[in-house]
Amino acid sequence: MRKNRMEDLAVMPDDEFFSLLYKTKRSVSSAQRKLDRTHHKDDKSYLDDLEVEMCYIQREAEVREKRREMHTEYLSSLRKKFAVA
């Protein structure tokens, strides 16, 4: 598993980022199913690592969404400002 640092996630292109998000979600689901079957200590450790990774990725997804919203608001305010002037 590749450990993504927050700085790497922040500059990752959207297509690559959302692909990573999807793949990590699938990996977490798969690891959970495997752990349910095996109850093996190594599987639990692997799942824990994946879940931590998923937290970082989800946080970056939230930041990107908020940034998109703020940019949309900014553009809207510019349109209003210049439409009135």
> 26: closest CA among 44, 53, 4, 64?
53
Determine the pLDDT at residue 1. 46
pLDDT per position as a tens digit, 2-38:
555 778 999 999 999 999 999 999 999 999 999 999 8
pTM of the model: 0.79
Q: Contact, 43 vs 31, CB < 8 A?
A: yes
> In the chain, where are the structural domains located?
6-84
Give, for 76, the enclosing helix (H) or strand (E). helix 41-84
Rounded Cα–Cα distance for residues 17 and 61 (Å): 9
Percent of the chain whose pLDDT exceeds 90 = 74
